[in-house]
Amino acid sequence: MKKNLKNELRNFGFIISGSLIFGMAYALFIIPFHVVPGGVSGIAVVINYFSRVPVGLMSILLNIPLLILGIRKLGKSYGVKTVIGFALSFLTVDFFYEILGLKHFQATDKPILASIYGGLLLGAGLGLIFKGRASTGGSDIVGMILHKYFGIRIGMGILLVDSVIIFASGFLFGSMEAPLFGFLTLFVSVKTIDFILEGWNYARKAFIITTRPGEVSEMILNQLDRSGTLFSGRTLFKNQKRSVIMTVIAIRQFPILRQEVRRIDPEAFVIVSDVYEVLGRGFRERA
C-alpha cells in the first residue's frame, strides 16, 4: 500500500513538473514565434494566429474526442491521469502567456533559437508527463497507442502523426519556413522525450562468437568482473560448431573487452549494441 502510494505521488510529481515546463515552452518560444510542433496544440497555435483564441483553451476543446479514444484503448486509469496531464499543461500555457503576460516578454528575436529551446523545454515537459504515465492528449495519445500495440517508441509515434500537421502549417501561414521551424522543434522535442524516458545508453551488450570460450569467459569474469551466458551454435556457411557468449558490460569496459577478445581469439566475431536498461545484479535500475 505504501509503495503504491509512493509511486502515485511520484507520478503526479512528474505530471505537475512536466506541465509547468510544457507551459513555459509554449509561452516563451512556441506561441510568440507561431511555431507549429504538430499535434492538437499545433492546430491551436494556427487557430490562435488567425483568431487570438487562447492556445491552452483551444487545445483542451480539441482534445476531448481524442481523450475518449485514449480511455477506450488505454484504460480508465490512463484517462484520469491524461485529464490531469492535459488540463494542467494547457492551463499553464494560458496562465504563463495570458495571465502572467509572458507574451510581452521576448526571450529571443531569432526564430531558430526559439525552435531549438522551445523543443528542448517541450520535450522535457512531455517526457516527465509520460514518465508519470499520463499524456497531454492529442498526438501523444496516438503515440502511446502505437507504442502499446505495435512497440513503436512513443517519440517516433508522435513524429509520424505530427508531420502532417507541420506540413499543413506551411500552406496555412503561406510560408515554407513555418514547417522547417516546426520540424526542427519536433525533432529536438522527440530526442528530448526519448532521453527523459530512456536516459543515456549506459551499458554495452556483446555477443562473442568464438572457438575459445573458456579463455574469453575467464577474462570476462576476472578482468571485467562481469558474468554472461554461454550458448552453443553453428556457423551457417560451413556448419561448424561455435560458442556464443552474451554479456553486458559498462561503457568504460568495452575497450578492454575489445582488446582482450582480439588478443585471445583474433578470429572471433563480436556484435556490440547499446543498452538503455539492465535489470539484475551489478547494474542500477532506472527510476
**What would the pLDDT profile of 89-139 be if each residue is shown by its tens digit?**
889 999 999 898 887 888 888 999 999 999 999 999 988 988 887 777 777
The mean of the pLDDT values for the chain is 85
**Which pLDDT belongs to residue 247?**
94
37 class by beta-carbon count within 10 Å (0-12 exposed, 13-18 middle, 19+ buried): buried
In sequence order, what are the residues at sequence separation of 6 or more whose Cβ sits closer than 8 angstroms to the Cβ of residue 56?
A: 23, 26, 44, 90, 91, 92, 93, 94, 95, 97, 98
- Band (pLDDT 50/70/90 cuts) for residue 78 is low
- Band (pLDDT 50/70/90 cuts) for residue 281 is low
Give 114 or 235, the one with higher predicted confidence: 114
HEC-encoded secondary structure of 101-139: CHHHCCCCCCHHHHHHHHHHHHHHHHHHHHHCCCCCCCH
Instruction: Provide the 8-state DSSP code for 258.
Output: H
Straight-line distance from the first to the last Cα atom of the chain, in angstroms, rounded to the nearest whole number: 19
In order of 220, 256, 281, the CA distances from 45 in angstroms are 55, 52, 48
- Band (pLDDT 50/70/90 cuts) for residue 215 is very high
Phi, then psi, of 206 in degrees rounded to 5: -130, 130
Q: Which of 148, 144, 192, 113 is nearest to 39 (CA)?
A: 144
In order of 4, 41, 53, 189, the CA distances from 48 in angstroms are 41, 10, 5, 22
In this predicted structure, the answer to whether residue 26 has a pLDDT above a threshold of 90 is: yes
* Spatial separation of the C-alpha atoms in residues 208 and 217, rounded to whole Å: 10
Q: Where are the domains of the chain?
A: 2-198, 203-275
In order of 87, 123, 129, the CA distances from 94 in angstroms are 11, 19, 18
Treating both helix axes as pointing N-terminal to C-terminal, what angle do 111-131 and 2-25 enclose, rounded to 10 degrees?
A: 170
Share of the chain above pLDDT 90, in %: 35
**Which pLDDT belongs to residue 284?**
60
* Spatial separation of the C-alpha atoms in residues 154 and 16, rounded to whole Å: 20
**Which pLDDT belongs to residue 135?**
73
**Which pLDDT belongs to residue 202?**
67
**Which pLDDT belongs to residue 73?**
66
In this predicted structure, the answer to whether residue 2 has a pLDDT above a threshold of 70 is: no
Give 193 or 269, the one with higher predicted confidence: 269
Residue with cell 491524461: 82
β-pair partners for 244: 209, 231
Helix (H), strand (E) at residue 245: strand 241-250
- Band (pLDDT 50/70/90 cuts) for residue 245 is very high
- Calculate mean pLDDT across residues 201-225: 89
Q: Sign of torsion, CA 105 111 117 123?
A: positive
**Which pLDDT belongs to residue 37?**
87
**Which pLDDT belongs to residue 237?**
83
- Calculate mean pLDDT across residues 197-202: 68
**Which pLDDT belongs to residue 27?**
93
CATH topology of domain 203-275: Alpha-Beta Plaits (3.30.70)
- Calculate mean pLDDT across residues 191-212: 83
